[in-house]
């Protein structure tokens, strides 16, 4: 089988101990025709640069690096790496996560089996910060083809969309990369945009590990803010949702998100929750969980 060049963009921002694990999960891939582009977002920890420079010397021609002169944020930092990529296929990894050794090989194989496909995503597991597996993302096949509706309705396990997909290079260039005006959920926004235009395939191989890192941006974020940021992303695609004919389904999805906001309230508003129950009786269990959670929250103060 031909081995086309695959570019892997590795994000770096402090936390050198995690970056080291991430890097070696890439350099030890069974698929060897890769380039690793490390984009460092102006880390304050000098150890990051020391490690990166060591890797450049150890793996000349295979490892490249770019150091931002100021902190530009996740979307712009990754976009820098995407634009430097030479490979016909591009994928990426956050500096606190890891790949399994066959991730690249399995996804390239999927591309070769499906020449009409432009994006491939794989299964993954979820680990705690100690490296213990908490769960595996999916036990069943996931959506393939044109998956715009699936992404907007979040037809994925455990409220997680997929991670670390591989693109044909032209996909990123045609979509103009991540939206750098977003400071969160830029990956969700890109998924929505490519799902409108490009065909997607799924590989059930567990290709990567997502670590629940309390020091990550998501880990440090307020839950209410996370929901509001998702709603902000979704609001950009109202006309496309109407055109694809699932507006009513999507309204139910927004109603569930709105209900989730109550988990972050400071007190129980029974009137609001009763109205929510009347509109969404199928969400009775969630409403009871909200009441129970807020009761415990109030008792702890």
> For every residue of 172-202, which 3-state class applies, written as one string?
HHHHCCCCCCCCCCHHHHHHHHHHHHCCEEE
Kindly state whether residues 161 and 264 are assigned to the same domain.
no
Whether residues 166 and 294 share a domain: the answer is no
Contact 101, 29 (CB under 8 A): yes
Could you tell me which residues are beta bridge partners of residue 109?
none
**Under 8 Å CB-to-CB from 193, ≥6 apart: which residues?**
175
pLDDT given at position 243? 97
Cα angle: 135, vertex 96, 15; to 5 degrees: 140
Give the torsion through C-alpha atoms of 167, 170, 173, 174, to 10 deg.
-110
Q: Which of 182, 198, 218 is the last residue of a domain?
A: 218
pLDDT of residue 217: 60
> What confidence tier does 88 reach under pLDDT thresholds 50, 70, 90?
very high
Range of the domain at 233: 221-299
Q: Are residues 30 and 76 in the same domain?
A: yes
Question: Average of pLDDT values for 258-285?
Answer: 77
Same domain membership, residue 204 and residue 122? yes
Asked if 11 and 41 count as a contact pair (C-beta separation under 8 A), the reply is yes
Mean pLDDT of 12-21: 95
Same domain, 212 and 235: no
Domain finish residue from 196, 218, 240: 218
Query: Can you tell me the mean pLDDT for 48-66?
Result: 97
Say which residue, 221 or 53, is predicted with more confidence. Answer: 53
Q: Domain check: are 172 and 119 in the same one?
A: yes
pLDDT of residue 177: 97
Answer whether residue 289 shows pLDDT above 70: yes
Q: Tens digits of per-residue pLDDT, 166-220?
A: 999 999 999 999 999 998 899 999 999 999 999 999 999 999 999 987 766 655 5
Q: Between these two residues, 142 and 282, which has the higher pLDDT value?
A: 142
Using CA atoms of 147, 149, 153, 154 in order, give the dihedral in degrees to the nearest 10.
10
Residues 6+ apart with CB under 8 A from 189: 178, 179, 182, 233, 236
Domain boundary among 218, 234, 268: 218
Report, as an integer, the average pLDDT of 50-60: 97
C-alpha distances (whole Å) from 55 to each of 33, 82, 117 are 17, 20, 33
Contact 165, 103 (CB under 8 A): no
Domain count, the chain: 2
Residues above pLDDT 70, as percent of the chain? 94
User: Does some domain include residue 91?
Assistant: yes
**pLDDT at residue 139 tops 70:** yes
Angle separating helix axes 46-58 and 16-27, nearest 10 degrees: 20
Q: Is 1 contained in some domain?
A: no
**Do 17 and 56 sit in the same domain of this protein?**
yes
Residue 265 lies in a domain: yes
42 phi and psi, to 5 degrees?
60, 55
Do 206 and 228 have their domain in common? no
Residues 101, 241, single domain; the answer is no
Q: What is the pLDDT of residue 266?
A: 74
pTM of the model: 0.89
Based on the fold, state whether residues 156 and 55 are members of the same structural domain: yes
Query: Is 268 part of a structural domain of the chain?
Result: yes
Q: What's the pLDDT score for residue 223?
A: 77
**Is pLDDT at 81 greater than 90 in this prediction?**
yes
Do 58 and 70 belong to one domain? yes
44 pLDDT higher than 70: yes
Q: Exposure pattern of 258-290 as b/e (b: 16+ CB <10 Å)?
A: ebbebebeeebeeeebeebbeebeebeebbeeb
Question: What is the CATH classification number for the domain harbouring 19?
Answer: 3.90.550.10
Distance in angstroms (rounded) separating the CA atoms of residues 174 and 188: 17
Average pLDDT, the chain: 90
- Report how far apart, in Å, the C-alpha atoms of 53 and of each of 10, 50, 65, 86, 110 are: 14, 5, 8, 20, 33
Same domain? 127 vs 211: yes
Give the per-residue pLDDT at 273.
74
- What does the CA dihedral 221, 178, 40, 134 come to, rounded to 10 degrees? 50
CB-neighbour burial class of residue 199 (10 A; exposed 0-12, middle 13-18, buried 19+): middle
């Amino acid at each position: 089988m031909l081995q086309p060049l695959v570019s892997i963009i590795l994000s770096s921002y402090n936390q050198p101990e995690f970056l080291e694990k991430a890097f070696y999960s890439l350099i030890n891939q069974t698929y060897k025709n890769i380039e690793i582009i490390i984009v460092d977002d102006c880390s304050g920890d000098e150890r990051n640069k020391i490690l990166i420079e060591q890797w450049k010397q150890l793996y000349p021609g295979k490892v490249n690096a770019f150091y931002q002169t100021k902190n530009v944020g996740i979307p712009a930092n990754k976009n820098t790496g995407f634009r430097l990529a030479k490979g016909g296929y591009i994928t990426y990894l956050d500096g606190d996560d890891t790949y399994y050794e066959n991730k690249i090989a399995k996804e390239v194989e999927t591309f070769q089996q499906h020449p009409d496909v432009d994006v491939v995503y794989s299964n993954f597991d979820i680990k705690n910060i100690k490296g213990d597996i908490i769960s595996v993302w999916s036990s069943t096949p996931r959506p393939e083809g044109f998956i715009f509706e699936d992404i907007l309705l979040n037809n994925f396990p455990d409220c997680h969309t997929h991670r670390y997909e591989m693109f044909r290079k032209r996909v990123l260039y045609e979509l103009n990369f991540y939206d750098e005006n977003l400071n969160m959920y830029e990956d969700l926004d890109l998924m929505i945009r490519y799902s409108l235009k490009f065909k997607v395939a799924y590989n059930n191989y567990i290709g990567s590990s997502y670590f629940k890192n309390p020091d990550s941006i998501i880990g440090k974020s307020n839950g209410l803010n996370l929901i509001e940021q998702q709603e902000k992303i979704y609001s950009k695609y109202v006309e496309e949702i109407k055109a694809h004919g699932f507006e009513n389904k999507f309204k139910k999805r927004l109603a569930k998100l709105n209900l989730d906001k109550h988990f972050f309230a400071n007190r129980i508003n029974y009137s609001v929750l009763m109205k929510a129950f009347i509109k969404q009786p199928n969400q009775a269990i969630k409403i009871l969980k909200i009441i129970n959670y807020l009761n415990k929250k109030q008792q702890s103060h």
